[in-house]
Amino acid sequence: MSIQQNVPLKRFNTLGVESYAEYMAQVTSIEQFKEVAEFARLSGLKIKVLGGGSNVVMSEAVSGVVVQYKSAQIALLSDDNAQVLIRVDAGFNWHDLVMHSLKQGWYGLENLAFIPGLVGAAPVQNIGAYGVEVKDCIQHVHGVFIDSLEEFHFTAEECGFEYRESIFKQALEGNVLITAVDFKLSKLPTVNVSYAPLDQMAKEKGVPTPLELAHWVIDVRKSKLPQPDQLPNAGSFFKNPVITLEMFEGLVSRYPAMPHYKLDEGVKVPAGWLIDQLGFKGKSFGPVSVHKQQALVLVNHGGKGVDVLHAADEVKQAVLDHYGIQLEQEPRLFA
């Protein structure tokens, strides 16, 4: 473990933004992290935790000490006829975990295949796709508080999971290093094909095995989302807004074809549809553009973090002006 100075971060973020960290350290244990924390304390620097860089917008210069947790081990904690409990280090690649679990006959994560990033970021964002949220499989989240260096072991309930939200993005934002996550996975091969494209595929091809479903998900994601190594992007840039029933009824009278999903707390409307209806697919804002096939995705063609944020603001303002809906972006500013 070493602490390096003036580290280029372009390869550490999927938007491919040129950026430099004042200091950076990659650690594989809490003990190593505490050494970095002591250096930061003595130097009067703030620690900033970076995962796989798939959900951040980098500023040109990132101050303080950027820390990336690299340990990537899996431990089997318990195993019975119906389910297993595994502990996965935060540095494990998320998609690799999904495919590894399927190979072992452990099910529950297949709908979350091909999501970029690391395991440690999964509970922060409460990643979700195609009818499944990761919170449904999480038992505990382990880590250390950055300010006190005390270790924590949160239950899923203590994590405050909501749609694309958790306590790690709210009350504890910027104050935790997640080191491992415990997942409870089923050994019974049930599948969730409630998401419309998957349901249609199941009607055409029959009910899939969990592994087949994972490959369906991969195919759907590849068809809808550009790969960051080909077109730098951060995946879906905007959350699907949840609006009041009253607001929805006013909008659907003007836009009868508006897709929607009724929830207990309101009505969820697809952000991609809202943006697409405004003709933004393929639209460029300098070096950043809306993807020509998926309106939720912003593609970076050599721009800086400020260029990405400018494009996002233009999209958000247009949606607000036209529909009265305030979009919220998913990637956070990393500065």
Q: Which are the catalytic amino acids?
A: 164, 236, 330
Alpha helices, H only, 132-241: 196-205, 210-224
Whole-number Å distance between alpha carbons of 326 and 240: 10
Whole-number Å distance between alpha carbons of 93 and 120: 9
Whole-number Å distance between alpha carbons of 124 and 170: 9
Who contacts 20 (Cβ-Cβ below 8 Å, separation ≥6)? Answer: 6, 7, 8, 9, 60, 61, 62
Whole-number Å distance between alpha carbons of 116 and 46: 27
Cβ pair 126, 166 in contact under 8 A: yes
Burial class of residue 296 (count of CB atoms within 10 Å of its CB; 0-12, 13-18, 19+): buried
Whole-number Å distance between alpha carbons of 71 and 150: 19
